[in-house]
Amino acid sequence: MNNARTDRSLEGAMTPGIPIFSPMMPYGTGLTPQPVQSTNSLSILEEQQRQQQQQQAAQQSTSQQATQGTSGQTPQLFHSQTLTTAPLPGTTPLYPSPMTPMTPITPATPASESSGIVPQLQNIVSTVNLGCKLDLKTIALRARNAEYNPKRFAAVIMRIREPRTTALIFSSGKMVCTGAKSEEQSRLAARKYARVVQKLGFPAKFLDFKIQNMVGSCDVKFPIRLEGLVLTHQQFSSYEPELFPGLIYRMIKPRIVLLIFVSGKVVLTGAKVRAEIYEAFENIYPILKGFRKTT
């Protein structure tokens, strides 16, 4: 009863639709019924809500990590999830998000249903804009690890040893970095290339770093009847033994292309984030298991 009055009195001050009444909110925390709310108490209210939400989020994440620790599948994935969805300190959101438990992108499946196989990332392709025009001849002359053959290709091919990657550097200042085995490695490698270009005398910056493609592979450890798979999943699969020994499966959600071979090895490509590869593999594994017991 008391709370209903406070709710109506606050309605004019705060924007409507904010769920003030949540189970975690203790009654009477600075909500003295006043016709006009000063901004100070408004921010205090939001601060309190945010703190409680963060506490709850922290509790949720630790409990989830505990359950996932046993299977040890993708701890890194869940870790990054807690960072991105918790509200950043310092920003006061106009609509404090409702106190719902945090949902990870890949739902926590019990260990018996999941495949237990984690695809390994084999290649990451990323692009970055160095932000200045480059003279490729100078770069090829003054850098040891560069090759430049303008008749064959209009870019300098540069390689570094750690992380073992290759970069294509164009005269417009755009650069493509390939060969890294993780997103962080790709970013570090791209920064190293930018530093090399900087030391060669160009005002290189590091703008718009973006991962364009991720390739992963794994092995389901049993042979697969590709002819059967193409019959049942005709709208997604393309199997042409005359052209290529593997079956090309174009998954709609997530939008990933899988190359499935008779030996049971699967290559997944076309992902922009790591979670897409994991999700695609979890989607295809039950389908492939269905083709195992044919004799």
Q: Minimum CB separation from another protein for residue 70, in Å?
A: 9
- The verdict on 174 binding another protein (CB under 8 A) reads no
Q: What x/- string results for residues 242 through 261 when contact with another protein is judged by CB under 8 A?
A: xx-xx--------------x
Nearest to 74 by CA among 122, 108, 124: 108
Q: What x/- string results for residues 199 through 238 when contact with another protein is judged by CB under 8 A?
A: xx--------------------xxxxxxx--xx--xx--x
Q: Minimum CB separation from another protein for residue 260, in Å?
A: 10
Q: Minimum CB separation from another protein for residue 78, in Å?
A: 15
**Residue 15 or residue 151: which is nearer to another protein going by CB?**
151
CA distances from 246 to 37, 123, 132 (A): 67, 20, 43
Q: Minimum CB separation from another protein for residue 203, in Å?
A: 16
Torsion of CA 236, 242, 246, 249, to 10 degrees: -10
Residue listed under structure tokens 């991962």 = 211
The two structure tokens encoding residue 266:
């699967």
Q: Minimum CB separation from another protein for residue 205, in Å?
A: 15
How many residues bind to another protein according to rule CB under 8 A? 57
Task: Report d(CA 254, CA 176) in Å as an integer.
Answer: 24
**Residue 157 or residue 262: which is nearer to another protein going by CB?**
262
- The verdict on 185 binding another protein (CB under 8 A) reads yes
Q: Minimum CB separation from another protein for residue 143, in Å?
A: 6
Relative orientation angle of helices 75-85 and 39-71, to the nearest 10 degrees: 180
Given a contact cutoff of 8 angstroms between Cβ atoms, the answer to whether 246 and 259 are in contact is yes
Positions 31 through 70 that interact with another protein (CB under 8 A):
none
* 85 CB neighbour count, 10 Å cutoff: 14
Task: Report d(CA 238, CA 217) in Å as an integer.
Answer: 19
Q: Is the dihedral of CA 77, 85, 215, 116 positive or negative?
A: positive
Q: Given the rule CB under 8 A, which residues bind another protein? A: 71, 76, 111-112, 115-117, 120, 122, 141-145, 160, 162-163, 181-188, 191-192, 195-196, 199-200, 221-227, 230-231, 234-235, 238-243, 245-246, 261-264, 292-293, 295
